[in-house]
Amino acid sequence: MVWKKTTVIIVILLAAYLAVRFFSVVETYQSDSLTPQTIPAAFKGWESKEVPVGEVEKKFLPEDTMFVKRYYQKPSVGTVYMVVVFTGKDRRSIHRPEVCYPAQGWAINATRTESVSIEHPLEELKTKRLDISYGKKNIVQKEIVLYWFMGNNRVTAAHWKRVSLMGFDRCVYGKNYQWAFFRVSTPVTPKGEKAAENVIHTFVSDVFPVIAKRNVQQY
C-alpha cells in the first residue's frame, strides 16, 4: 500500500509540474530559417501578388500574429493561393481550416491525408486535404485545399501532433518555438478535378524544398 501511495504522489507532482510548465509564460523562439521574409515571392517560374491582411483577421487573432498571403501563378501550370500564419506568444494564432471555412459559408465535402512527392530527403510531404465548395444550385465554386504545419525543424499535417509537440517543448525544454501554418488552395476549373490536383501538387512540390531545411523531420 505504501508504494501505491508513493506512486500516486509522484504522478500528481509530475502532472502539477507539467501543468505549470505548459501554462506558464515562456520565451518564444523564432527560427531564422522560417520567417515571413523567407517565404519566396517568386521561385521556379512562379510569380506572386501579395494579398493584404483582412480586418477580421487583425481583430480576432493575437496582435503578434504574422501573415504571408499571396496569389501565385505559373503560366504553364495554373494559379494557387497560399496563406502562411506564424504564431507569436499566443498559441491561438493558428487554427485548423475545418473551423474557419464553415464559418465563412464554405462546405467541406471531403477530408483526407494526401502525400505530395517532393525533391527533398523526405521524398513525400504528408498534407491534409479538404475538398470544399461555395454556393448553391447551378453556381457552385469548388476548390482543393492542402495544409500542413512547420516549426522547430519539424513538419506535420496533424493538428493534434503540432499541439503535442508544442506542449512537449514547453514542458520539457521550457521553450515556445514559433510554428507556421501553411494553406494552399486552387480552384477546380472546367478542366476538372485532376487538373486542379496537378496544379496544387506541382506548386507544393516546387515550394517545399525552397522553404524547408534538408534535415527537417516529419511527424
All three cell numbers of 75, joined, read 503560366
pLDDT in tens, 12-27: 545 444 444 445 555 6
Q: What is the C-alpha to C-alpha distance for residues 84 and 70, in angstroms, rounded to an integer?
A: 9
Who wins on pLDDT, 5 or 95?
95
Q: Which residues contact 69 (CB under 8 A, 6 or more apart)?
A: 50, 51, 52, 53, 81, 82, 83, 84
pLDDT in tens, 144-199: 999 999 998 999 999 999 988 888 888 777 788 889 999 999 999 999 999 999 99
All three cell numbers of 152, joined, read 522547430
